[in-house]
Chains A and B, each alone.
Chain A
């Protein structure tokens, strides 16, 4: 969550700038925001009322671009590059980073081929450099690179801005998680009870066994005491062994 902390100040700064200006001046602010190296969250800026006014006006391309950065990927940009203004290299890099985040949303294990397709890089070395320098060192993702199997295993990925429908699915996931942990708690409690009952049974069994041994010992010693002492030595020895 360090990314959120790092971003908080930048977000405040840009929100102030955006609310202070209007119209086409906002365009340049957007470009600045999207090229900023540590800003990855744009929904706060989108929520400012002056930004929403841009909808439908001539400057709506800028709004579209901001929305692209908030929710879209590099492939979206390539497909509809007519709709968006030209991007500077910083923005290109930023968009690619955000694309990696989106990919990490759906799968935990990303293959190199898929990544190379989505990010428009041709060789593995470039891809790995990009992942290591721009994604991991920036703190966006944490994971392991498996070069032999050509996989990138994601352990942690920062969150992107939420699409409107995502909240519902998040709540669903959370309730599933809750249900699973509740079940698990019940199962563990049953196991604990089982362990206790088994140990109780074991103790009882052992005690019964010992009681029986005591009884038999007493019975045998009574018998041998009442028998005449002229029994053969062998049978005496054998009864003693039996009791042992």
Chain B
């Protein structure tokens, strides 16, 4: 196990904005490669760097991230895949150049900001790749996605590393330092992320139907509101008892907030609400009726054909 030398936070002062498209691209790449590795696993893309074999068939995928840098803000918009050449420990340069030219034609403002890979932690060998990219971008970024699914984890398993020159044991060395980032979404990305999020209820609760999933969403929203009101209530009670010094500005804000209640008690609201409720009930009733009548119709037809002994002979016709 090689020693991973990393500082805990970066000091370059750059703010990073990551778009969801990049995360989806990386995870898609990883999933594709992993599912294509049917047993026996041919480790063509799994990294065997420094002799560390990934026994759990978790292939490492590599690629480039591109985006825009404006002043101190770095915004990562998109990414594309690259092949890793284990023999030379570097990424496929001619392909990279070709892709870069193609992207430049469509997005003239995008530059290569760095590269990405999957895994649980940054490794020493990644520094080689990092250094190799330094001729395109003097301070490239390393985006790392951890593909292990951890149900208790609340944040995204994505970390962004920068490289910094630190003096360790008297030798100036480049090490990876972790940086914080924010997620920035374009409207199109928001729609797709929203769609994916609604496919399955989030907290793993057993919400079998769509109705239950919808209600669960509302439930969690109200729970959050409830906890906030509870905090306010506690604060005011404390102020009344005298434990906390009275802060007038806050009290004014709370009073203005409370004046907005009751929020939905006007007569007009009741009218509209009841009308809509009645409409929904009527439509459901109508649908039920149609269903019933069609089932009856089928039943009668079957009955007729089943017990239809005296038809076509004039005189009595069958049941209906």
Contacts and interface: CB of A to CB of B under 8 A. Distances in A.
Interface string A101-143: 0001100110000000000000000000000000000000000
B259 interface: yes
B207 A196 contact: yes
B233 A185 contact: no
A228 interface: no
A179 B139 CA distance: 56
A157 B233 CA distance: 20
Smallest CB-CB A-B distances: 3 pairs: A159-B252, A159-B256, A159-B255
B148 interface: no
A162 B251 contact: yes
B253 A192 contact: no
Contacts of A171: 233, 236-237, 240
B211 A185 contact: no
B222 A181 contact: yes
Nearest to B309: A234
A55 interface: no
Contacts of A109: 266
Interface of A: 1, 4, 7-8, 11, 41, 43-44, 47, 104-105, 108-109, 155-162, 166-168, 170-171, 173-175, 177-178, 181-182, 184-185, 188-189, 191-192, 195-196, 199-200, 238, 241-242, 244
Point out which of B219, B236, B252 has the most chain A C-beta atoms below 10 A from its C-beta. B252
Given A8-B249, A195-B211, 18 more contacts: A105-B255, A157-B259, A167-B236, A167-B251, A170-B254, A174-B233, A174-B236, A178-B230, A181-B225, A184-B222, A192-B216, A192-B219, A196-B206, A196-B212, A199-B208, A199-B209, A199-B212, A241-B306
Given A196-B207, A238-B308, A242-B302, A173 B216 contact: no
Contacts of B216: 192
B252 A41 contact: yes
Given A4-B249, A41-B249, A155-B260, A238 B305 contact: yes
Given A156-B256, A177-B229, A181-B222, A200 B236 contact: no
A175 B251 contact: no
16 contacts: A4-B253, A104-B259, A159-B259, A162-B251, A170-B254, A170-B255, A173-B258, A178-B233, A181-B226, A181-B229, A184-B222, A196-B209, A200-B208, A238-B306, A241-B306, A242-B302
A166 B260 CA distance: 16
Contacts of A182: 226
Nearest to A4: B249
Interface in B132-165: none
Nearest to A235: B309
Kindly state the interface size class of chain B when it binds its partner: 35 or more
Nearest to A171: B236
B219 A188 contact: yes
Nearest to B234: A174
A105 B252 CA distance: 12
Contacts of B248: 41, 43-44, 47, 161-162
A7 B302 CA distance: 81
A162 B229 CA distance: 20
B223 interface: yes
A160 B258 CA distance: 12
A45 to B, nearest CB: 10
Nearest to A193: B212
A191 B207 CA distance: 12
Nearest to A101: B256
Interface string B252-289: 11111011110000100000000000000000000000
B232 interface: yes
Contacts of B226: 178, 181-182, 185
A157 B239 contact: no
B7 interface: no
Interface in B281-320: 302, 305-308
A242 B308 CA distance: 12
B253 A159 contact: yes
B52 to A, nearest CB: 47
B225 to A, nearest CB: 6
A195 B239 CA distance: 43
B215 interface: yes
Contacts of A159: 251-256, 259
Contacts of A173: 258, 261
